[in-house]
Amino acid sequence: MTEPQHFLKLSAQKAADETHRLKIAKAIATYDAVVGNTKKSQFKNWEEARTLAAQIKDYTLAHLPELLEQFEKNFTAAGGKVFWAETGEEAAEYIVALAQQHNVRKVVKSKSMTTEEIQLNECLERSSIEVWESDLGELIVQLAGERPYHIVTPAMHKTKEEIGVLFNEQLHAPLTTNAEELTMIARRHLREAYITSGMGLTGANFLIADAGAVVVTENEGNARLTMSCPPVHVVVAGIEKIIPHLADLSLFLPLLATSGTGQEITCYNSIVRGPRREGECDGPREMHVILLDNGRSQLYQRERFREILRCIRCGACLNACPVYRTVGGHSYRTTYQGPIGSVITPHYNGFEEFQHLAAASSLCGACSSVCPVHIDIHHLLLENRALASERNAPPFFWKMAMRVFAWAMSRPQRLQLMRRLVRMVQPLAPQRLRAPRMSKKSFREMWRANEYGA
């Protein structure tokens, strides 16, 4: 099956699955309520805050190569190592080689979408290196043999009952449906991983040019343990993660937390400037940062798409998207789901395979309206559609349909003819596609008959 066929099949299944819809609706309703409150209580003016954030990101993009070099210089001066990777394969190969060089048999990982993007777990496992996901949501999807359902909430689609069964089967834990007990099972299970792993792997939420620092945002403490206990710490970061100044965090940390989870600031924010220094009693002996391109610099060269590199991966556009809410995170079969994923995936993973995602949008603009860095996401989906039609002549059926549409819309009488035709065939539609019936009379007819009592 091709990717578009997979998408159609999976999304049709999920859209008709009412249990799935209820689960997602419940999770996102909880999110919406708390995010709405935090925007009001924390910010004087949310709109101004996100405009400022977009300006800082635009400044960053205008100086991207210089800021990356500044980061490299400062981070290297503090004893860290920087590796630039053009592709995911180059990044994964570097990490596997590093692990082998240190005789690492076990790696502990905190949540990182960038490592998902380069399929690092698969590469490490092929070289017989164990990978322990330590974020609770990531652990759940890893044990279930699935991909993350959501870039911020990987196990959003799992009920506590399902997780109870999973932990019982995979970790031989006593069966429970209590969220606290389940969390404690994960806590006990992972202690050993932090203590005995030869390498800790994390992503980065921000790279700070002036401080030469990597910033990791989290709530559980798993990322802190991952970069404190093992002797080697490796960070995989997209080149767009850079911001100019340490002081910029006083806006970006609250902004990311508010849009991501509705918190004012997440529980733990770590600012790491290289490996353990002289006089420090612990921390890794080596720290490596992999600056990953993987299609980003090509997007950067396209002026219209450059703004997508402002993205801080908060997940707000997924939660707001009526398509994501209906078809769920797995139908996309991509690392990044929802509107942001539909914009970037074709550029990172192959335009031919993933261009259909540009059509997985109602163009309602909900994504753009919630974006904390003001990315015009839905117009970028239109840009992807335009690129797709430049590359491939549209299918015959599509051309015909567009012709009929143009014909029908160009005269009122023709539009009315179409209305009557559609009204006639509507009862033949299958139940799940049934929409409200076309009205018997047109608006014009009702207006003339003065049915509005004007």
Partner 1 sequence: MNMARERILQRLHSVTHSHSSAAAPAIRDAEIFANHPGQNALVERFGAKLISLKGEFFRVRDAREAASRVKELLAGVAANSPQVCLCQRHELIDAVVAQEPWLHTHTTPLSQSLPNEDFAQYQASLTAADFLIARTGSIVLNSAAAGGRRLSVLPPLHIVVAAASQAVASLEEAFAQLKNIAPASYMAIITGPSRTSDIEKILVLGAHGPKRLAAIVIENSAVNL
Window 28 to 67, contacts with partner 1 (CB under 8 A): 30-31, 40-44, 48-49, 52, 55-56, 59, 62-65
Answer yes or no whether residue 20 interacts with partner 1 by CB under 8 A: no
Which residues inside 148-187 make contact with partner 1, applying CB under 8 A? Answer: 153-155, 158-160, 163, 179-180, 182-184, 186-187
CA angle 309–314–320, rounded 5-degree value: 105
Which residues inside 124-153 make contact with partner 1, applying CB under 8 A? Answer: 134-137, 140, 153
Q: Which is nearer to partner 1, 188 or 440 (CB)?
A: 188
Among 12, 251, 415, 418, interactor with partner 1 by CB under 8 A: 251
Burial 344-359 (b: 16+ CB within 10 A, else e): bbbbbbebeebbbbbe
CB of residue 229 vs partner 1: minimum separation in angstroms?
A: 5
d(CA 208, CA 272): 10
- Quick check: 202 and 247 in contact, CB under 8 A? no
Tokens of 286: 């080596």
Q: How many residues bind partner 1 (CB under 8 A)?
A: 99
Tokens of 20: 């799935």
Among 90, 93, 130, 383, interactor with partner 1 by CB under 8 A: 90
Answer yes or no whether residue 219 interacts with partner 1 by CB under 8 A: yes
Which residues inside 255-284 make contact with partner 1, applying CB under 8 A? Answer: 261, 264-277, 279-283
**Alpha-helix residue ranges (DSSP H) falling in 262-355:** 296-301, 316-320, 322-327, 338-349, 351-354
Among 191, 391, 399, 414, interactor with partner 1 by CB under 8 A: 191
Stretch that binds partner 1, among 11-19, 189-197, 368-376, 416-424 (CB under 8 A): 189-197
d(CA 297, CA 169): 44
Which residues inside 320-379 make contact with partner 1, applying CB under 8 A? Answer: none
Answer yes or no whether residue 390 interacts with partner 1 by CB under 8 A: no
Torsion of CA 342, 88, 335, 389, to 10 degrees: 20
Stretch that binds partner 1, among 246-254, 361-369, 430-438, 443-451 (CB under 8 A): 246-254
Q: Which is nearer to partner 1, 48 or 445 (CB)?
A: 48
Answer yes or no whether residue 221 interacts with partner 1 by CB under 8 A: yes
Q: Which is nearer to partner 1, 95 or 182 (CB)?
A: 182
Three-state DSSP at 289 gives: strand
HEC secondary structure over 101-167: HCCCCEEEECCCHHHHHCCHHHHHHHCCCEEEECCHHHHHHHHCCCCCCCCCCCCCCCCHHHHHHHH
Which residues inside 391-450 make contact with partner 1, applying CB under 8 A? Answer: none
d(CA 408, CA 394): 20
- Quick check: 350 and 384 in contact, CB under 8 A? no
Q: Which is nearer to partner 1, 85 or 360 (CB)?
A: 85
Exposed, middle or buried: residue 67 (CB in 10 Å: 0-12, 13-18, 19+)?
buried
CB of residue 73 vs partner 1: minimum separation in angstroms?
A: 13
Q: Which is nearer to partner 1, 190 or 232 (CB)?
A: 190
